[in-house]
Amino acid sequence: MEKQTFEWKRMAIGVNRARPVNTNMAADDDTELGEELDGTETSREDAERRTIEIDLLLEGIYRMYGFDYRHYSRPSIQRRILHRASMDKFATITALTERVLHDPAVLARLLDDFSIKVTEMFRDPEFFLALRRHVLPELRHLPEIRIWHAGCSTGEEAYSMSILLHEEGLLHKAKLYATDMNERAVAQAREGKLLLKRMQGFTRNYMQAGGRAEFSQYYTTDFQYARLRPQVLEPIVFAQHNLATDRSFNEFHLILCRNVMIYFDPTLQNRVHELFHESLGAHGFLCLGSKESLGNMPVREKYEDIAAAERIYRLRPRPRE
């Protein structure tokens, strides 16, 4: 029986206070930010001190503000912390922690460093082509199609899905839920406004993903922005959601969480995979990013490969009780 739909107004302010942010942080191979605040090589004692300082900073952010980065990839988040300490001219991470706990403006700058919005429409065109060929035909018979974009950032993937469903004649019976923990990213996604200079690249992706129309029919333009037409935006519900602590809020036929969990440690990855397993309906589909896979995850045996190269999986039938 379908789960009762979660009250979105309540979800938008968070089910729980804890808020592990699930927007994309910069990848570990991004611009090198240095291993030391002063550029010197660390000793073992210095490295241990830094580990303690970072632990205390992340614990303080969690306890004071409710944002939980304690289970994020340490090398990536460490570089962001060192970068902010250097930019704001703090001699130590402890000094940064003191200001973060007393000055929300410093916190905001640090969280902006943690949250790097890397996304585009029809990113990885082969993935969307695989959705056309292998997933959407399996959803066609359903009276209603529910899709969850988890960690949607500024919404480009959800926009792409809306267009894809329209071209497959399925949008009229689909509801897309696009969630992220970053408030500013969610607000931006709702606007459906994109920089005009990005549209050429998006058009190229769209055509490579099997696009069947003129991409320009899905938006209007002015001198700076492309604005998506209402037919693209109306089926999408954008809201905040905490992947690590918020519960399942519906039963879905398709869940997409692409290149988000690469920034989680194994404990948090396992927790989120259990959430997705709980949220998928019978024979539901799970899509991960190109840098992710189910690999040796405990839930691996619960899925079969549909398009392994594109990281598309399908839930196996649940055993009868």
For 214-252, write each residue's pLDDT tens digit: 999 999 999 899 999 999 999 999 998 978 778 899 999
Look at residue 177 and tell me if it is in a domain. Answer: yes
**What CATH number should be reported for the domain holding residue 254?**
3.40.50.150
pLDDT tens per residue, range 80-98: 999 999 999 999 999 999 9
pLDDT in tens, 20-30: 444 444 444 44
Q: Is residue 19 part of a domain?
A: no
Indicate whether 242 and 154 sit together in one domain: yes
pLDDT tier, 101 (very low <50, low <70, confident <90, very high otherwise)? very high
Last residue of a domain, one of 114, 144, 175: 114
Domain match, 143 and 270 both: yes
Task: Kindly state the percentage of the chain with pLDDT values over 70.
Answer: 86
- What's the confidence (pLDDT) of residue 183? 82
- pLDDT confidence bin for 263, thresholds 50/70/90: confident
Q: Are residues 296 and 162 in the same domain?
A: yes
Joined tokens for residue 211: 């696009």
Q: How far is it, in rounded angstroms, from Cα 37 to Cα 82?
A: 6
In a domain, 46, yes or no: yes
Same domain, 163 and 309: yes
Examine residue 184 and state whether it is found in any structural domain, yes or no: yes
Which residue segment(s) compose the domain that 197 sits in? 125-315
The predicted-structure confidence for 180-194, as pLDDT tens digits, reads as follows 988 888 999 999 999
Answer yes or no: do 202 and 110 share one domain: no
pTM of the model: 0.82
